[in-house]
Amino acid sequence: MPLIRLGTRRSPLAMAQAHEARARLCAAHGWDESAVELVPVVSTGDRIQDRPLAEIGGKALWTRELDAWLLEGRIDASVHSMKDVETLRPDAIAIGAILPREDKADVLLGAASLDAIAPNALVGTSAPRRAAQLLHRRPDCRVAPIRGNVATRRAKLAAGEADVTFLAAAGLARLGESEVGVRLDPEDWLPAPAQAAIGIECRRDDERTKQMLAAIDHHASHIEVLAERRLLEGLGGSCSSPVAALSRQANGRLHLRAAIFSPDGADRVEREADFDADNAQAPLDLARGLLEQAPPTVTEHFTGR
């Protein structure tokens, strides 16, 4: 009989992340692997691969089924890529742990650098951040939607459906494919908020599971993820809002850079802030400053608060 049931999506990357969560739980508590049961669930986002997320329900497509299973008690916790988890969550669900964050960078496939992308190249991505950030730098390029797991996107690139594409360095590392592509410096090419962070959610009133998960919570990563998600909350950003963010920590303080774009990349606004790591208001203030500075071509894609 398992001590805890972890729900996860069925994709290879999601399963790799669930295995990491199980390994960390077993190591922290001295358990045998059988103490943690992995419960795969097929999400709507995995079933529908031919349309952008914004057209079919947004980030909730990655969490809907796992949320239902969690609230019904069929699982005790669920493992997520935190960049794919909507900002506003059900009151009954809490983040029980954030695992140590991996490399936050994106990886470019199909060219040696952003400048080396061929003129008028077709860039495959369904991520508004990647599309807008690329078009801001390379307005000559064209963007075509491309979705699917890592293997699917690499296959579409090989089949000529796009000239170049982007993947997350963290996802490649977790799949044992760190040698793939060219890493883009996150200081130059800003990542998505909460990129490279694995989160484990549980029921807010489940003290037993919360105590189990607390043993593997990585405090520094948790602080960064909360700040970046708080920024998103302040912006009113959705899966169709082009927003990028990068946080760094030192001496109990957090440095947060953020940029918001028009979808065509023509307009870009960036601001940064340095604040105490426990200051929950500062990311909201940063969001407000960005929206106040941005033109309507950008703000129309954010609701603010």
The 8-class DSSP code of residue 46 comes to H
Look at residue 238 and tell me if it is in a domain: yes
Same domain? For 69 and 201 the reply is yes
Catalytic, 276? Answer no
Give the pLDDT of residue 59: 52
Q: Which residues of the chain have pLDDT under 70?
A: 43-60, 62, 305
* Domain enclosing residue 179, as ranges: 106-184
Question: How many domains is the chain partitioned into structurally?
Answer: 3
Same domain? For 133 and 209 the reply is no
Q: Per-residue pLDDT tens for 35-78?
A: 999 999 976 555 545 455 455 444 567 688 999 999 999 999 99
Same domain? For 141 and 90 the reply is no
Same domain? For 51 and 172 the reply is no
Look at residue 304 and tell me if it is in a domain: no
Give the pLDDT of residue 305: 54
Same domain? For 206 and 87 the reply is yes
**Cβ 244 vs Cβ 58: under 8 Å:** no
Give the pLDDT of residue 148: 78
Give the pLDDT of residue 270: 98
Q: Please provide residue 123's backbone torsions phi and psi, each rounded to the nearest 5 degrees.
A: -105, 120
How far apart are the C-alpha atoms of 173 and 180, rounded to whole Å? 9
**Cβ 93 vs Cβ 203: under 8 Å:** yes
Catalytic residue among 32, 46, 50, 84: 84
Same domain? For 212 and 87 the reply is yes
